[in-house]
Structure 1
Amino acid sequence: MLINTMQPQRTAVLLIGFQNDYFAADGILYNVIEESSRATKVLENTVELVRCLLATPVLLIATPIFFTPNYQELIEPVGILKTIKDVGAFQVGSKGSQMIDELLPFRSNILEVPGKRGFNAFINTNLEEILQEKEITHVVLAGAVTSICIDSTGRSAHEKGYQVIVLSDCTSARTVFEQEFYHTHVFPLYADTINHTELLQRLTIA
């Protein structure tokens, strides 16, 4: 498979949703992914991954989601976006919208790409322009929520011609079942699903 020819300088890791409202114990939506996060040890594994990648040419990108206090960006939202509005999550300037503490030590090494307002990190952002400028061929996905933002961004990346990798131990879903189902039955339809240790090995970093 092409993934085995991965080059660090042509690889980007997208860190999706690593914000306090999802991952901090007092986050508004913490309970949505708490079970899966604990099962996959998503924070521990992601921090280890980022630490190992710091001295490499791999491009680290965070794509946070946040809204104005009145959520004027959301027009008649449904599903999880309606829930976000109803509970007041990811308000710009709030603690909940900020990057999780675990990743703050690496913030200067992570390129933040703002503008995400929905599921797909390519929509309303300049993410694709950055990937093209850096001549990226492989897009690696980590974060939350597996069945929503990870899947939506992954499908879009695939359709744009990138080789897509989804990290099984650096992503978090609403339930353990959902996490396993997507990595077993959904992602393999358009991506490769491996853990972060396998990724480091394929990048010849570990």
Structure 2
Amino acid sequence: MDAFDNLAVILVGFQNDYFAKNGVLRGVVEEPGRVDEVLANTMNLIRKLANTKALIISTPIVLESSYRALSNSSGILDKIKESGAFSVGTFGAENIPELAEFGDRITYVSGKVGFNAFSKTDLDNTLLANSIKEVWVCGMVTSLCIDSTGRAAYERGYKVSIVEDCSSARTALEHSFYCENVFPLYGSVIESKSLVMS
């Protein structure tokens, strides 16, 4: 049995508006170079897992141009509306081109319109159909989508790990706070660089 038979890696927000050089939300991450570092680490992690049985899932957020799903928004969701981010049919809403390298090795789960990748999507059914027991969560933003998705996975009975060097917050301090104080309340914090793949 493959050591990764029951593992899923959930990629959150790997879209042009966060990761492209001209992405409208790239500046949300204040630490210089952090976005590129997260992208490089995540691509390396996927390459390590490509020949295993691990399920790799991308959960993009795509919103109607009216932003109806964000009608009562505040904080970063207001910034998404104001900037026109993740609007259906736009460059920014598209998955980053780097994921194309992996072809059908990546499963795409649509429907995400908020922080939690399980809400209003088929993510849980996809995990159940593949006998997943453990999830690793990567992406943007640590304190919002990553935390919301991690908690939701835990509440559904999955063993949860947040991949620290494949995720980012708005600031280094915020990222460290969640990794040191919040995530250990319901899961583990791991680093992709320290993972040994057979």
Please give the TM-score of this superposition, normalised by the length of structure 2: 0.94
The within-5 A match list for 1:31-42 is 31-35=27-31, 38=34, 41-42=37-38
Q: Structure 1 stretches (4+) deviating beyond 4 angstroms? A: none
**CA offsets 1:63-85 (integer angstroms, 9 cap, x no match):** 00011111122222222212211
The aligned amino acid for 1:26 is N
- CA shift, 1:34, in A, is 5.0
Q: Give, in whole Å, the separation in 2 of the partners of 1:178 and 1:122.
A: 23
Letter in 2 for 1:150: I
Instruction: Pick from 91, 104, 115 the counterpart of residue 108 of structure 1.
Output: 104
1:119 aligned residue:
115
**Cα distance in 1, alignment partners of residues 169 and 102 from structure 2:** 24
**Alpha-carbon distance in structure 1 between the residues aligned to 2:105 and 2:90:** 23
SS in 2 for 1:193: strand
Query: RMSD value over aligned CA atoms?
Result: 1.7
Are the structure 2 counterparts of residues 98 and 34 from structure 1 closer, same or farther at C-alpha, using a change threshold of 3 Å? Answer: farther
For residues 65-76 of structure 1, the aligned pairs below 5 Å read 65-76=61-72
For residues 32 and 14 of structure 2, the distance between their equivalents in structure 1, rounded to whole angstroms, comes to 14
- The equivalent of 1:165 in structure 2 is 161
Say if 2:39 is the partner of 1:43: yes
C-alpha contact 1:166 1:192 (8 A) present in aligned 2: yes
Superposed displacement of residue 52, structure 1: 1.1
Q: Is the 8 A contact 1:37 1:43 kept in 2?
A: no
Q: Which 5+ residue runs of structure 2 have no aligned equivalent? A: none
The separation in 2 between residues aligned to 1:37 and 1:194, in whole angstroms, is 21
Matched length? 197
Q: Output the amino acid matched with 2:121.
A: T
**Within 5 A, what are the aligned runs for 1:130-169?**
130-169=126-165
Give the share of equivalent positions with the same residue, in percent. Answer: 47
TM-score (norm: length of structure 1): 0.90
Structure with the largest fraction of helix = 1
